[in-house]
Amino acid sequence: MRLEEASAAIREAFPEAWVDLAVAITEFGGAAVLMIVLAVLYWLTRRREAALVVSYAVAGVGFILVLKTLIGLPRPPEDVYLIAYDGDPYGFPSGHAFAASLVYGGLLLAFDRYRDPVAIAATGVVIALVSLSRVVLGLHYLGDVIVGALVGLGFLLAVHAVVDGEPRRGFALGAVLGVPAVLVTGGDPDALVALGGSLGGVLASTRLGSLPDLRSRLEGGVLVAVGGTAIGAGVALESIVGSLLSNLLAPAAIVAVNAALFVAILLAPAAVGRLAIGPLDASR
């Protein structure tokens, strides 16, 4: 089922000199890059649609963590890893393949690009590359990533139908899935982030309809700078909180920090919109 022989053939065929390329590609299915991509799209493009995909992403984290933990199938042996890895021990299904399928596929649906063959092909290539990079790096078997991508697509279609274009519903679903994820995984950091982000999203999404439109490229640049600073501060604060507080208090604090971080990300346009930033002529 996990296609171990095919996985070994892929690893052996991949030139070790290109490992850095595989590492770069795999990050496009990781939480950090996906968060940055979605945040920038939210700040600079159609905010309701981007917020919808953000809600899919945080809901998906809780779902895939519970699924992986309950199935409990291990990753490949460490002697085939091409990079150091200290994350969760479960390999089936692949979380990166799931996330890539969910987020990039979600962008196709939310931004109404699912009828565009070029957009569909590009999305498929990104999902395939992220998935194969996990096999190349030795962190998953080929079967893990195939199932991960398919489960991601299935989850996307289901949540897209349930949420029905309302980001707040997506974030509420994320909170519902986040609670069992925290309990089943014993407080996995990703589960805490997803739960906190979902709660923050529920609070902030009530203001989406009243956010000001982007007025200029200059304002867009300021928004990315302010929002990026907020993300950096949130990540730093989460690390500090995790190291200073006791094991009993740290999970609740991490959830609170991430709730505040998602509120800051989603409401940053309101704060920047109050600044006197004039329009920038597109021809300049």
85-91 — which CB contacts under 8 Å span 24+ positions? Answer: 85/139, 88/185, 88/188, 91/139, 91/140, 91/141, 91/144
Residues 6+ positions from 26 with CB-CB distance below 8 Å? 96, 130, 133, 134, 137
How many CB atoms sit inside 10 A of residue 145's CB? 33
The predicted-structure confidence for 66-95, as pLDDT tens digits, reads as follows 999 999 999 999 989 988 888 889 999 999
pLDDT at 105: 97
Q: Distance of CA 172 to CAs 8, 59, 194, 244, Å?
A: 41, 8, 11, 30
pLDDT the model gives residue 49: 94
At residue 249, the pLDDT reads 76
pTM of the model as a whole: 0.91
> What per-residue confidence (pLDDT) applies to 245?
67
How many residues are given for the chain? 284
Q: Are 257 and 241 in contact (CB under 8 A)?
A: yes
Q: Where are the domains of the chain?
A: 4-273
Amino acid 236: pLDDT? 87
Cβ–Cβ under 8 Å, residues 185 and 65: yes
Which range has the worst mean pLDDT, 163-167, 210-214, 255-259? 210-214
Report the pLDDT value the prediction gives residue 219, as an integer from 0 to 100. 87
Q: What is the DSSP string of 73-96?
A: PBPSPGGG-SS---S-SB-SS-HH
With a pLDDT cut of 90, the percent of the chain lying above it is 69
pLDDT of res. 84: 87
| CA–CA gap between residue 167 and residue 175 (Å, rounded) | 13
| Model confidence band, residue 280 (pLDDT cutoffs 50, 70, 90) | very low
- Are 198 and 181 within 8 A, CB to CB? no
- Quick one: pLDDT band at residue 284, thresholds 50, 70, 90? very low
Q: Whose CA is closest to 220, among 160, 264, 272?
A: 272
234 or 64, greater pLDDT: 64
- Locus of tokens 């899935």: 177
The pLDDT, as a whole number, for residue 283 is: 37
Q: Closest Cα partner for 176 from 156, 200, 158, 199?
A: 199
Checking if the pLDDT of 281 tops 70, the result is no
Whole-number average pLDDT of the chain: 90
Share of residues in the chain with pLDDT > 70 (%): 94
pLDDT of residue 274: 77
> Which residues have CB under 8 Å from 66's CB, separation 6+?
177, 180, 181, 184, 185
Tens digit of pLDDT for each residue in 187-244? 898 999 999 999 999 999 989 888 888 888 888 898 999 888 888 888 888 888 767 6
